[in-house]
Amino acid sequence: MQRGTNLGRLGDFNQAVIFESIRRAAGGVSRVELAESTGLSPQTISNVVRRLLDEGLVREDRTVVLGPGKPRTVLELEADRLLSLGVHVDPGMVSVVMLDLRGEVVVSKRVDEPSLEDPERALEAMASAVEELIEASGRPRGRILGVGVVAPGPMDRERGFLAAPPLLDGWNYVEIVEPLRRRLDMDVLLEKDTIAAALAELWKGPERGRENFVFMYLGAGIGAGIVVNGEVLRGVSNNAGEVGHFSVGMDFVEEGAEPCRECGRLDCLAVAFSFARVAASARRRGIDLPEELEATVAGRAAGMNRLVELALGGNGEASALVRGGARMVAQVASRLSNALDVDEVIFGGPLWAALDGRHLATVAEVINGGFVARDLHGISVVSSDLGHQVGAIGGACAVMDALLSPKASALLLR
């Protein structure tokens, strides 16, 4: 149903717009520049800036003279005034970061080969890791807006638990948000890994503005984060981005391969890039990846990391296998770019980060070569700059996004 505009919320919205502009202005910004960039009146800017100064979120940093006219006072963000935390649980690694208002990492922590079999203990360990990080940061607890916990889907984000996640067996319907909220006594939200990664890129991306892109997330699982017109596409249950049963093509399937137990195909991404399939190929090529690794999530993640290490170390067979995996993911990215007509695809996540930029040219070729509207525009294919922290940064961004960012929808009456 169409709704009219909510005049009472215009003030809040404009304040959020101005604060967001200050947060995004790297070298400080003057009131005149804010009026230009937001289109708001000098009077509105002046009133809002006064409030932000009073709240200690902004400081008057220095005065600059630009040609004739009154010298301009440069406003600087008090980036440390508010902080947020992100905890990313990927079966291959747990990453925790604290971000300041600018989105810069204040402190961070990484746990390789985490114990995730017992969810209750894992949640305890997460809470401790958060406490340690706060301690290490030396920042007062009162400045922390909240914690964004990032995990593979599917999940029930509203109720705060994972729903039959294929990568975290024991976590089925285990509550995550409530126990952490109680333990930490702060706001906690849950976010899907691929959506968090897209949020992180939206915030940290270059200033030219990424508006329409697909983020191909490579971790223990593979999924896509989708951004349309500058907003993350969440889907009706916050589970958008499931691409596990997209086909990669039969040329990636070796003889005797088992079909996917879910969809029945031989060449869906989930089975073609599964550790079992990759490890079997590796063993046939003389690479030692013990079958025992296949039994646990941690083992599979460790095995995949081992293969990447071998490839980076110069093992030609391992390198070919890893390149094959990258090409499989590129096939899926190609389908998505055609369906969504984006002009950018970003590759990232802990597994991609470990590859250190390799195979980027290969995946770019697959994606642009298969783009149906290529006569109209190309697709820029890039690696995320955020490394293995992309998910955790996205979790912290989700907290700031929920609490600070202006939402045009808030302008409409409820």
Nearer to a second copy, 73 or 212 (CB): 212
Angle at 88 between CA 83 and CA 92, to 5 degrees: 150
| Contact map string, positions 379 to 408, toward a second copy, x by CB under 8 A | ---------------------------x-x
What type of residue sits at position 218?
L
> With binding defined as CB under 8 A, does residue 375 bind a second copy?
yes
Binder to a second copy among 14, 84, 305, 389 (CB under 8 A)? 14
Hey, what are 305's tokens? 């990391």
Dihedral angle of Cα 53, 84, 176, 204, to the nearest 10 degrees:
120
Site for a second copy in 141-160 (CB under 8 A): 153-154, 156
Residue 13 has a CB neighbour count (10 Å cut-off) of: 15
Binder to a second copy among 73, 338, 368, 380 (CB under 8 A)? 338
Determine the distance from the C-alpha atom of residue 136 to the mean position of all C-alpha atoms in its chain, rounded to a whole number: 24
Compute the least distance from the CB of residue 42 to a second copy, in Å.
12
What are residue 149's phi and psi, to 5 degrees? -95, 130
Q: Which stretch binds a second copy (CB under 8 A): 90-98, 104-112, 181-189, 337-345?
A: 337-345
Nearer to a second copy, 18 or 49 (CB): 18
Compute the least distance from the CB of residue 409 to a second copy, in Å.
7
Q: Are 167 and 91 in contact (CB under 8 A)?
A: yes
Residue 103 has a CB neighbour count (10 Å cut-off) of: 17
Determine the distance from the C-alpha atom of residue 29 to the mean position of all C-alpha atoms in its chain, rounded to a whole number: 28
Compute the least distance from the CB of residue 16 to a second copy, in Å.
8
Compute the least distance from the CB of residue 365 to a second copy, in Å.
14
> With binding defined as CB under 8 A, does residue 372 bind a second copy?
yes
Residue 275, burial from CB neighbour count under 10 angstroms (0-12, 13-18, 19+):
buried
Compute the least distance from the CB of residue 14 to a second copy, in Å.
5
Q: Is the dihedral of CA 400, 196, 393, 208 positive or negative?
A: negative
What are residue 104's phi and psi, to 5 degrees? -80, 145
Hey, what are 141's tokens? 């607890």
Binder to a second copy among 209, 286, 313, 314 (CB under 8 A)? 209
Site for a second copy in 267-286 (CB under 8 A): 267
CA–CA separation, 83 and 105 (whole Å): 10
| Contact map string, positions 231 to 270, toward a second copy, x by CB under 8 A | --xxxxxxxxxxxxxxx-xx-----------xxxxxx---
Residue count, binding to a second copy (CB under 8 A): 75
Instruction: Give the SS3 label for residue 6.
Output: coil
Nearer to a second copy, 162 or 293 (CB): 162
Binder to a second copy among 27, 39, 313, 314 (CB under 8 A)? 39
> With binding defined as CB under 8 A, does residue 89 bind a second copy?
no
**Crossing angle between the packed helical segments 42-54 and 31-38, to the nearest 10 degrees:** 120
Binder to a second copy among 84, 95, 137, 334 (CB under 8 A)? 334
> With binding defined as CB under 8 A, does residue 413 bind a second copy?
yes
| Contact map string, positions 44 to 83, toward a second copy, x by CB under 8 A | x---------------------------------------
CA–CA separation, 387 and 328 (whole Å): 21
Closest CA to 46 of 57, 56, 55, 35: 35
Nearer to a second copy, 14 or 305 (CB): 14
> With binding defined as CB under 8 A, does residue 343 bind a second copy?
yes
